Structure 1
Amino acid sequence: MVAFPPCPPEALAAAEAACGGTVDLKELTNRRGSAVWKAVGPEGTVAVKIGYDDGVAATLREATTLAAMGLAEYEAVSGSYDGGSWLVTPWFTGPSTWAVFTPTREGTGGREAALRGGADLCRSVADLHASGWIHADLQPSHGIHTPAGVRLIDFAWSWREGEEPVSGFSGGIVHLMAPELAAAVARGDGPVTPTRSSDTYALAGVLWTCASGGWPLDYKAAGIDRKAAGPDGVRDAIATGRLPFAPAVWPELQDALRPALAAVPEDRPTAGELAELLLKVEP
């Protein structure tokens, strides 16, 4: 396990300014050169993220993206320290999409709430697309379900339509990568350009994973040993667009998701249309 780095004084000072005084720091995650804390103070709560080693550029990118978006609910403070970069953002209170679906995965109910939560996540992605942005790294933990609606997080790879592709982007988490992105990465086209359609593919994959606990494609049925193939081999298989879907554990929901997981981008619904499909599913 990688030791949790200390919180830089500059980031700590920014967190204390935002929270109205001394904060308690709770370690949350530390991986791939990015560490995150929850900072709780007398007048508020924020998230503190630092980038070090390979994570410096990602934290800087996310800070730049949040500033360009200009959304009040994502008001952020950022900077650099000796050895890395830091970012302080509002703390969104609520469960992740993965947590919203936990009762359904455990077979204890909650399907109606999961469908509402899934539709809310789709609408949040649709709103992002309407503003001209692509998230490009949707994952089960990247949507927080607050009383005011779903708030997306982790914008390090997000891209504004019409601008140059983000240098170094390689398609996101491989199991949620749309076939056209996987094919572009396999060809060495980089930097790869995400689209609204590839976001919708990942969105449907996230919801499939949250409902079933497994990835949406059935590698075993396709004769693929994931360990032997490695990430590149899995990616190349996804690029064919011919892998079968994993067995359904909630057929009605997963049938609604299948169109968004189509191999051909033009055959997929939009994120907003996917929300409507989910609301038609019987709990």
Structure 2
Amino acid sequence: MAMMRLRREDPRVVGSFRLHRRLGAGGMGVVYLGSDRRGQRVALKVIRPDLAEDQEFRSRFAREVSAARRIRGGCTARLVAADLEADRPWFATQYVPGPSLHDKVVEEGPLRAADVAAVGAALSEGLVAVHEAGVVHRDLKPSNILLSPKGPRIIDFGIAWATGASTLTHVGTAVGSPGFLAPEQVRGAAVTPATDVFALGATLAYAAMGDSPFGHGSSEVMLYRVVHEEPQLHGVHDALAPLVSACLAKDPEERPSTLQLSMRLKEIAAREAQGLHDARPPVQRERVELNRPTARYPERTDRTERMETAYGRVVAAPAADAVPYRWRLPAPAAARHGPYERPAGHQAGDAHHLDGPAAGQPAVAASADHRLLRGDADRGAGHRGRPEAVTGQAPGRPVATA
């Protein structure tokens, strides 16, 4: 796990935590490795000075931290402490050792079907807890998932949406990473738990193929594909492809719930771990009644029926030959099928730039008139042309970038 020395301008102590190294920097601030008096390690994020002076940001940030406190479950980095009244607000979360899913795939190649399913099952359970707290992550992607020895952990809720709060970005914008934003985010529509399901589907496709299901290209091209084109899932294992495809449905109402995903992925993980292919003929099984994580997002029986028509019973009792699975870090690719040859020019990203997009994928903003605005990193690279419209609507004045 790459770390950097503290710089001269970096604080040495924040709250009751002593800082040791820089873990990374992003749009909201700098993330440090710290420890408390007992030696417990934390990832501590200190907000940028310009944002600290924005009272509107402070009040929104306080609501986000309040929502984060409500999240329970073992698949997120637990919030340890926060000071919202400090000159520069900060918060500390549990430090999670391990590579990001992005770096794991870049360095060792796509994961096996059993590992993809196991990661997906754990992440689905984590999202159930997140959504039960009334929070939508909005930026789930491979670089925001750490593969710890105890299981995958979802990190970076910096642009999360909380119940009763507007986003931390300027009004009329939606920020995220091309290829992992859901169509409704690109269009500026409301986000729901189904938004995270789309991002999870894109993330699992990346883990299975070693590439985005929407290919490569500029921010405008990538987001156009997300809205208008079908994902390319040719490298996804047959046992996973129908489920991943359902997650990537353009219509949020067509996507499975996180609870349905968790149950189905656990079954696939167990079968694939035994070297079995999920090719059972459709059979009638006893239906399991599901409740959505919160009453705000009621389950739709018609959506469930459509999902079952697409790829058989999603909510089913475990098969008789299925066995429980236990999380373990995916074995290095070289040990499974020889060294992985990375595409030319493909470099590993930094898992600790917790606010920013995945390596090679600049953050973008979709304005209220549905035009795309590049992030500062993209502009700094010399991309100064006018943004292109994704939806084809008449151009208007962009609201603001985040």
- TM-score when normalising by structure 2: 0.54
Please point out which of 120, 123, 129 is paired with 1:121. Answer: 123
Name the counterpart of 1:180: 184
- Does residue 65 of the first structure (1) align with residue 64 of the second (2)? yes
Please point out which of 222, 231, 235 is paired with 1:234. Answer: 222
2:178–2:222 CA contact under 8 A, matched in 1: yes
Q: Deviations over 1:28-77 (max 9, x none)?
A: 21244632121245521111222326765799555541234434831322
* 1:36 partner letter: V
Name the counterpart of 1:142: 144
- The correspondence of residues 185-224 of structure 1 with structure 2, limited to 5 A, is 193-218=190-215
- Does residue 26 of the first structure (1) align with residue 21 of the second (2)? yes
Please point out which of 44, 49, 67 is paired with 2:45. Answer: 49
Moved over 6 A (4+): none
Name the counterpart of 2:359: none
Partner Cα distance (1:96, 1:127) in 2: 23
* 1:261 partner letter: L
Name the counterpart of 1:98: 101
Note closer, same or farther for the CA distance 1:24–1:264 as it changes in structure 2 (3 Å cut). Answer: closer
1:165–1:193 CA contact under 8 A, matched in 2: no
Note closer, same or farther for the CA distance 1:274–1:76 as it changes in structure 2 (3 Å cut). Answer: same
Q: Which runs of 5+ in 1 are unaligned?
A: 185-191, 220-225
Q: Deviations over 1:142-194 (max 9, x none)?
A: 2345566654321122122354455434142121111122123xxxxxxx532
Q: Deviations over 1:223-259 (max 9, x none)?
A: xxx2xxx31343234222x234143153433332110
Note closer, same or farther for the CA distance 1:102–1:42 as it changes in structure 2 (3 Å cut). Answer: farther
Note closer, same or farther for the CA distance 1:164–1:279 as it changes in structure 2 (3 Å cut). Answer: same
Partner Cα distance (1:104, 1:28) in 2: 19
- Does residue 78 of the first structure (1) align with residue 83 of the second (2)? yes
Three-state SS of the structure 1 residue aligned to 2:239 is helix
Higher mean alpha-carbon deviation, 135-144 vs 199-208, is at: 135-144
* 2:208 partner letter: A
Q: Deviations over 1:90-120 (max 9, x none)?
A: 333343550796499536x765344222211
Partner Cα distance (1:7, 1:278) in 2: 43
1:116–1:279 CA contact under 8 A, matched in 2: yes
* 2:226 partner letter: I
- 1:124 positional shift: 0.3
* 1:183 partner letter: R
Greater C-alpha radius of gyration: 2
Note closer, same or farther for the CA distance 1:252–1:209 as it changes in structure 2 (3 Å cut). Answer: same
1:50–1:87 CA contact under 8 A, matched in 2: yes
Note closer, same or farther for the CA distance 1:4–1:211 as it changes in structure 2 (3 Å cut). Answer: farther
Q: Which runs of 5+ in 2 are unaligned?
A: 1-5, 73-77, 274-402
Three-state SS of the structure 2 residue aligned to 1:252 is coil
Partner Cα distance (1:271, 1:175) in 2: 20
- TM-score when normalising by structure 1: 0.73
Identical columns (%) = 21
Name the counterpart of 1:188: none
Name the counterpart of 1:7: 10
* 1:234 partner letter: M
- Does residue 275 of the first structure (1) align with residue 262 of the second (2)? yes
Whose RCO is larger (CA < 8 A, sep 6+)? 2
Note closer, same or farther for the CA distance 1:116–1:100 as it changes in structure 2 (3 Å cut). Answer: farther
